Structure 1
Amino acid sequence: MFLLRDYKDILKKIKNKKPLIHHITNYVTATDCANTVLALGASAVMADDPLEVEEVVIHSDALVLNMGTLNQQKIEAFILAGRKANDLGIPIILDPVGVGGTKLRSEALKRILKEIKVSVIRGNMSEIKHIYGIEEMTRGVDSISDSKDGGKEISKAIAQRHKCVVAITGEIDYISDGNQTFSIRNGHKMLTNITGTGCMTTSLIGVCCGATKDIFMATALAISIMGIAGERAYEDLQDKSGIGSFKVHLLDAIGGFTIELLEERGRIDGLSY
């Protein structure tokens, strides 16, 4: 199966290359994202001062821009780091956390998409719908919309508009590059009970994109890893309501991910247009 061959190749490259993923990210989940990157076999750096971000990007294999705890200094860091990454051909993964919730976030997103060429946009359905242009209230940074609600059409349209890969994560995940679209049905509802699993997923995308030029397949692999890890983490819980223990098991499951697990448990559907 070509998917497994491609995924196996990316996992091997991560192990051999140990890509460095530069995050300008959400301070609420920075530690979780760093540990997620380490668990999969890569390295993370969290540098967000505009005076150093360009220098850090030079040494990085991917750049993650997370809008979770947004401020003006961070927006400037996004732009500076993003332009440098574009100059160097380094993939940029954008997580538009809470976009649509405030004017600051909406205007920041417009500027980012205008001034930077991003490789991947990953968000929940509310966030992605805002980018698409559908008005919908965003409650905090959480999605109040169902990922099944037009996910494949919206992901394809935004991917074509911005010439990038778009990933909508939720009960069903959709990944599109404008030509091909996958749906992924792995995961567990416990993933929504702890803060940061979306940010962690974005970091996993950064790791996979930092190891290959196949951005579409890298994004699909990263989302599959999080979904399967979530399932395994829940299965390993002694107390099925223990969210703290679930988080520990989740990191363990990411660290123990193998291609054999994907072959056994992956629920990926290729949707052709």
Structure 2
Amino acid sequence: MLKQQIIEALNAVREQKPLVVNITNYVVMNNTANALLALGASPIMAHSQQEMAEMMTYAGALVINIGTLDSQWTPRMLYAVQQANKNNKVVVLDPVGCGASRLRTETSREIARSAQKLIIRGNASEIIALAGEQAQSKGVDALDSSETALDAAQFLVQEYQAHVVISGETDYVVSPEQVIKLSNGNAMMPCVTGMGCTLSALTGAFAAVGDHTGLAAVAILGVVGEIAVEQSKGPGSLQMNLLDVLYQLDNETVLNRLNIE
């Protein structure tokens, strides 16, 4: 049943080509835009408050990524969340480096409190820090395992009425109803900058067509990354191959490769 839901979501993105508004960091704009295009969605990197109210009337979802946060970005992010709420759109929050500084932690919590329909996607250390627990991190990199963040994710589900995705060597999708474990991907994937940011962007595309859990994005990127690594000599070719595999991915491959429980 879960695999069929994921395939239906993939087909829906390719048919509907939803517009995904991204307020994201300078490091990954190109990566995430290309991944959304390869998936079949339509990306826009919009940061101006002057157009955000209009943009969110017809966009499918809003992705907020705090990777290059500063005092100018925060008001733009919060205003965009207000407009997403006004138009009943899902907000995907990527709390990059949450726990590495007070600014990142407090801003992440403020965004989470503001969003009415929320998916949180982070690594284990970010999820733990967002929940207010002590996390082990090195800048934006997680030193905690995904399993150690499950209690924190459950707290965030209740605190913000959110769905939570913990990404790492093993991925977890945590919702009020269930916890889903996914075991695809490969250890080379974190060697490409912004892989988690790419997952957050794809989560926005799937949210735009009705998957408000984050499951489809985790499943698809895990399968795609696993296949792309098999075709790659290192991180440079992985980045290229990942886009190609994502573009060419078919339903049968998802069914055969997805490791989910």
TM norm structure 1: 0.92
Alpha-carbon displacement from aligned partner over 1:24-53 (angstroms, at most 9, x marks no partner):
001100000000000000100001122222
Correspondent of 1:215 among 202, 209, 212: 212
Aligned-partner residue type, residue 216 of structure 2 = L
Displacement of 1:110 in angstroms is 2.5
Aligned-partner residue type, residue 255 of structure 1 = Y
Alpha-carbon displacement from aligned partner over 1:109-135 (angstroms, at most 9, x marks no partner):
222122222420000000000112212
Q: Is the 8 A contact 2:98 2:104 kept in 1?
A: yes
Aligned-partner residue type, residue 157 of structure 1 = F
Q: Is the 8 A contact 2:84 2:91 kept in 1?
A: yes
Aligned to 2:223: 228
Q: Is the 8 A contact 2:99 2:105 kept in 1?
A: yes
Distance 2:130 2:139 in 1: 16
Runs of 4 or more above 6 Å deviation? none
Distance 2:131 2:144 in 1: 14
Alignment of 1:50-69 (within 5 A): 50-69=49-68
Aligned-partner residue type, residue 183 of structure 2 = R
How many percent of aligned residue pairs carry the same amino acid?
34
Alignment of 1:1-273 (within 5 A): 2-149=1-148, 151-212=149-210, 214-216=211-213, 219-237=214-232, 240=233, 242-269=234-261
Displacement of 1:77 in angstroms is 1.0
* Structure 1 unpaired stretches of 5+: none
Distance 1:36 1:143 in 2: 23
Displacement of 1:138 in angstroms is 2.6
CA RMSD in angstroms, aligned pairs only: 1.3
SS of equivalent residue, structure 2 residue 144: coil
TM norm structure 2: 0.96
Question: How many residues in Structure 1 have an aligned counterpart in Structure 2?
Answer: 261
Displacement of 1:58 in angstroms is 1.8
